[in-house]
Amino acid sequence: MSATVLYQYPAAVAGGTVAPTATQAVNDVGAIVTWLDADLTAIVTHNFGLTATQNTQLFPIVIVNIDSTSTGTANPTITVTRSLNNITLTKVSAAGSGGTLAVTCLRPFEPTK
């Protein structure tokens, strides 16, 4: 089973289930992931169009936090798998493993000196 993903940022997609386009996803994408105990995966699409090199360099940077609205009673281990245009979050199916996560994906960025 798969979790529900509600995109929160960029503003053009806030509150919806449709991921931002490549044009909208300039530097970061934020989403709320809600899953039930039986859910195993959640796919968050960032549409950064990363290169294979960037992907092997561990981009995008992924930040996962248990949201303050979460009702889960367990803290399951979450595995993050990166790809060029999305990430997949995976957890075990167990009692109390459901809940709500705040997920942020950050595009590679290097300021010029």
- What is the per-residue pLDDT for 112? 66
Q: Is the pLDDT of residue 2 over 90?
A: no
Q: What are the distances in angstroms from CA 61 to CA 7, 37, 48, 72, 96?
A: 17, 26, 12, 25, 27
> What pLDDT is recorded for position 80?
95
Average per-residue pLDDT in the chain?
90
Per-residue b or e along 65-100, where b marks 16 or more CB atoms closer than 10 Å to that residue's CB: eebeeeebeeebebebebeebbbebebeeeeebbbb
What pLDDT, on a 0 to 100 scale, did the predictor assign at position 14? 92
Do the Cβ atoms of 94 and 38 come closer than 8 Å? no
- Predicted TM-score (pTM) of the model is 0.90
Quick check: 51 and 65 in contact, CB under 8 A?
no
pLDDT band at 77 (very low <50, low <70, confident <90, very high): confident
| Contact status, residue 60 vs residue 105, Cβ threshold 8 Å | yes
Q: What size, in residues, is the chain? A: 113
